[in-house]
Chains A and B, each alone.
Chain A
Amino acid sequence: MIRFAINRLLQAIPVLLVVISVTFLLVHSAPGGPFSADKAVPPEVARALEAQYQLDQPLWQQYISYLGDVITGDFGPSFKYPGRTVNELIAAGFPVTAELALYAMLVALVIGIGAGVVAAMRPNTMQDYIPMSAAMLGICMPSFLLGPILVLIFGIHLEWLPISGWGDIPGDKILPAITLGTGYAAYIARLSRGGMLEVLSQDYIRTARAKGLSESLIITKHALRGGLIPVVAFLGPAFAGLLGGSFVVETIFQIPGLGRFYVASAFNRDYTMILGMTIFFAALIIVFNLLSDLLALQLNPKLRQQARGHH
C-alpha cells in the first residue's frame, strides 16, 4: 500500500508540471492584460507596472522564474490586488470552499446512501420508485436552478434560513450545502442502490438470511461494505466535481471561497492568481484521488491483490 501511494505521488510530479506549463501558456496568450483599465493608462505608468511584475521580460524567462518560485511554495503577488500574495488569498478562501465541499459531500453521502440502501431493500416497489425518482430529479436539476428556488422559499418567503455569507449567521451553511450536495446525492443514491442490489443477490447474503439474521443487521454487517464500493470509486470524481460546482454555489450564496475567486481572476487576467489556484486545485485532486483509491483498496481485497501484483 505504501509503495502504491509513493508511486502515485511520484507520478503526480510530471502531471503538475504539465498543468503548470499548459496553464502558463494559456494565461499569457489570453487577450487583454491585467492592467487594462477603463481610464486610459499613461504609458509611463503602464511600463512601471509591467516592470514591477516582470511582465516585460521574455516569456520563457518569466516561466523559469515562476517555476523556481513555485518549487519553494511561493505563488507570487496577485496582480489585481496590490500588496496581497496569492498564498494569502488562497489561504483565505480555501478553508471556506473545503468546508462547503465537505458539508455538501456529507449531505450527498447521508441522503444518497440512505436512499439507495432503502431502495435496494425492496426493489421495484414504491420504496424503490420514490427515492429513485427523487434521485432522478436531483440529477436533472442543476444547482443554479435549485439554489435560487431554495433561497426564494426558505430565505425570503419563509425566512427560516439566511441566504448569504458563510459563518456569519448561524444556519447560513445549510442552503449552500444542500444546493451543492443534492446532485451528488442523486448519483450516489443510484450507485449505492446498484451496488447493494448486486451484493444482496449473492449467495452469502442468502445464507445469512437463512441463518435468521435480521435484515438491518445483514445490511449493515455484510452488505454495506461490498455494496458501497462503487460509491467509494465515485468519491474522487465527486470531489473534483464539487470543487467545480462550488463556483456556481459560491456566486449564488455570496460565499467567500476560492471558486468565486477563480472565475473572477480569469476575467481579471490576474495571472499569478489563476496559475496558483490551478496548481493548488490540481494537487488537491491528485491527493484526494489517491486517498479514495487507497480507501477502495482497503475495502476490496481483490483490488489489493491486483495492486500488489502490479507493484
Chain B
Amino acid sequence: MPRPQYQSKLLSLTASALLLFTLASCSDHQNNVTAGNLSGTLHWGNSTEPQSLDPHIATGVPEHHIISALMEGLIYKDGETLEPRPGVAKSWDISEDGRVYTFYLRENARWSNGDPHNAHDYVWSWWRALQPALGNLYAYMYFPIENAKAYYEGEISDFDQVGVKAIDDFTLQVRLANPTPYFLQLLDHYSLFPVHRATVEKFGTADQRGTRWTYEGNMVGNGAFQLKEWKINRRITVERNPYYWGADNVGLNQVVFYPTENVTTEERMFRAGQLHYSGVPSDKIATYREANNPALRIQPYLGTYFYRFNVDTPQLQDKRVRRALAMTINRDQLVTQILKGGQFPAYAITPPGTMGYYPESDLKFDPQAARQLMAEAGYPNGEGFPTTEILYNTSEGHRKIAVAIQQMWKKYLNIDVTLLNQEWKVYLDTVSNHHYEMARAGWIGDYVDPNNFLDMFLCNGGNNRTNWCNPEYDRLILEQAPTAKSHAERLTIFAQAEKILLEDMPVIPIYVYTSNNLVHPSVKNFGRNILNQANYREMHLQPEAQGAPQQ
C-alpha cells in the first residue's frame, strides 16, 4: 500500500474540517428562534425526557407541558387568572348543594384522527385511570368523586356505583362525595383527561402500563396539537390538530420540546437563540436583573420549601425545641443572599394568596425568644443538645440552604448540626421509612386550594412522613372543611388548622417558590400564573425587528 496516501488523507481531512467550519459559521443567521418566529414554531426547553405521555401514568412537570398541548379536559384554566374556561365542555351546571356537576359537551369535539368525542369517553377513561394495575400515582385526584376512593381501594367492585355517568352522548354528570370548591380545577389536571379508547385498546389492555399507544405515529389526543415526532432524548414535536374545536384560534403551528437535562446548558441554548423558553440557574438571575433583561420572568409559584422534623427523634419531641429552631432561621437573608430568585420567606405551610387564603402566623425571626425556649426545654445555650442531622437530596441549591441554616443555628443557639446528602431515590426511601431526623422537602400544589397543602399532614397522610398526628387537625380538615357553607367559612377553618400546625411545628416552612424562566420577547400571550402552567393554545409568535437579547 503506497504510504503517501497518509499525507493526502491528512490533507483531505483537514480540508473537510475547514469546510465544515466555514459552513458552520454561515449557519447562525437562521437560528431556531428567528426561523421559528417566521414559521410559527415554538422552541421550548423542557428539562427532561418524559417518562410517559400517558396522562394516567405520567407524573412531573415536563410531562405535564407536553400532555397539556396534546390533550384537553372538560375545562381548561385561563393562562393568567387560572379561572376555569370551557374546554371540551361548553358549559356546566352546579347543583345547589355543590355536589352534582352537569357538563354539556361540545358537539363538534373531535379526536385528532377525526373520531367523534363524547361523554362516554370520559366514563371509560376515568374507569381506566382507577384500575390499580395501571399504577396511577394521581388516583387520589379522583377521590372527591363519590365512591371513587372505595372503588380504587377495592371496597366496591362495580364502577357503576362511582359518581360519573353519561346521561346522553353529550351530557356528563358527576356526583361528589362532598361539596368540593376546587373540583373544577381538578378537571384540568392531566390525570382526569380522557384517552382515546380505540387507540389504547389497539396496543394492549386498558390497564396495561406502558404500551406503545402514546408513541410517534400512534397517539391520538383531543388537544390543540397532535404528536408529530418523538425522537427519544432529542426532541418531541407537536403540530396543530386540525380537528380541535378551537383550531381557528390556535396561534402556533408547532411546538418543539427539548429534553435538555441541565439548566445551565438550557440557559446557554437560550442565549444562543436556540430556545424561546428556558429555565435560568439561580446564580445568573442577578445578572439578568441588573441588565433589566425583558426575557427574565420571575413569578410566584404555588409551592413551599420546608424542612420536616421526625418528631419521634428524642431531642425533637419537645415542640419548644422545634419552634426555637424555626425561629432562628433568618429567612430574609436566605432569600436575598442565597436564593436571589425573588422568592418569599414562608412563615406558614400554605403559600399566601392561595385562592384568597392568607394564613396567619406568629412565626418570625426571633433568636432571643428562641434561646428562651431552648432554655425552657432544657438546653440552655445549646448545652446538652445532641448533634442532629439534616438530610437533603443532592443538589447545590439544597446544600446552600442547609449550610446557611447550619451556621445560623450554630450562631444563635450554639447547637451542632451535621449535613447528609443522598441521591434522590435513596433520599425518598429514607424519608418514607422515617429514617431521618430533619429532612428537606418541597411541595408544589397540584391545584389552587389550601387543602392541597394542609392535607399532607393528616395522621394517615401518605405524604406526612413526620410521625406527627393531631386528631383535632384531622377533624378540621376532613370533617369540618368539606361541610363549610361558604368559601370564607372554609378558609377560616383552614386557618384554624394551620394554626395548630404552626403551634406544633412538625415542619419548618422556609420559603415560597418562584418560577424563574427566560422567555423570548417574541412569544406573545405567554400567560403568567402561579402554577407555571403553559397555555399553548393561547400563545403566538411575533417576529421582532431586532435580534435575540444578549446576556
Contacts and interface: CB of A to CB of B under 8 A. Distances in A.
A42 B21 contact: no
B426 to A, nearest CB: 4
B232 A84 contact: yes
A110 interface: yes
Given A36-B428, A220-B4, A80 B268 contact: no
Contacts of A106: 13
Nearest to B13: A110
Interface stretch (A7-15, A19-27, A194-202, A249-257): A249-257
Nearest to A35: B135
Given A48-B133, A156-B271, A264-B261, A33 B429 contact: yes
A160 B24 contact: yes
Contact of B59 (A37, A163, A216): A37
B274 A164 contact: yes
A38 B210 contact: no
A155 B27 CA distance: 12
A253 B260 CA distance: 9
Nearest to B462: A40
B103 to A, nearest CB: 27
B27 A169 contact: yes
A254 B266 CA distance: 9
A184 interface: no
Given A40-B432, A251-B262, A253-B265, A81 B52 contact: yes
Nearest to B25: A160
A39 B462 CA distance: 8
Contact of A32 (B13, B133, B262, B423): B423
B132 A174 contact: no
Contacts of A155: 268, 272
Contacts of B17: 110
A147 B147 CA distance: 57
Interface in B68-98: none
A217 to B, nearest CB: 8
B82 to A, nearest CB: 22
Nearest to B9: A110
Contacts of A39: 59, 137-138, 462-463
A39 B59 CA distance: 9
Contacts of B139: 42, 45
Interface string A138-182: 000000000000010001100111111110111100100000000
A59 interface: no
Interface in A43-68: 44-45, 48-49, 52
Contact of B265 (A80, A83, A254): A254
Interface string B17-57: 10011011101100110000000000000000101101001
B211 interface: yes
A151 B265 CA distance: 10
B70 to A, nearest CB: 16
A92 interface: yes
Chain B: interface size category:
35 or more
A37 B52 CA distance: 15
A220 B209 contact: no
Contacts of A160: 24-25, 28
Given A82-B51, A156-B551, A93 B27 contact: no
Interface in B241-268: 258-262, 265-266, 268
Contacts of A84: 210, 232
B425 A220 contact: no
A164 B427 CA distance: 31
B545 interface: no
Contacts of A52: 133, 209
Contact of B269 (A49, A161, A164, A260): A164
Contacts of B266: 254
A45 B260 contact: no
Contacts of B463: 39-40
A41 B234 CA distance: 30
A110 B268 contact: no
A169 B154 CA distance: 53
Nearest to B463: A40
Given A45-B137, A164-B260, A256-B234, A80 B51 contact: yes
Contacts of A32: 423-429
Interface in B205-220: 209-212, 214-215
Contacts of A168: 234-235
A30 to B, nearest CB: 8
Interface in B465-505: none
A261 interface: yes
A53 to B, nearest CB: 10
B432 to A, nearest CB: 7
A45 B139 CA distance: 10
B234 A171 contact: no
Interface in B154-201: 154
Contact of A171 (B20, B49, B52): B20
A205 B514 CA distance: 72
Contacts of B211: 83
A302 interface: no
B153 interface: yes
Contact of B24 (A89, A164, A171, A260): A171
A77 interface: yes
24 contacts: A39-B59, A39-B138, A40-B432, A40-B462, A45-B137, A45-B139, A81-B52, A81-B210, A82-B51, A82-B210, A83-B214, A93-B232, A155-B268, A156-B268, A170-B27, A171-B25, A224-B3, A253-B265, A254-B265, A254-B266, A256-B231, A260-B261, A261-B233, A264-B261
Interface of B: 3-4, 6-7, 10, 13-14, 17, 20-21, 23-25, 27-28, 31-32, 49, 51-52, 54, 57, 59, 132-133, 135-139, 153-154, 209-212, 214-215, 231-235, 258-262, 265-266, 268-269, 271-272, 274, 423-429, 432, 462-463, 551
Shortest 3 CB-CB distances between A and B: which pairs?
A: A82-B210, A171-B24, A40-B462
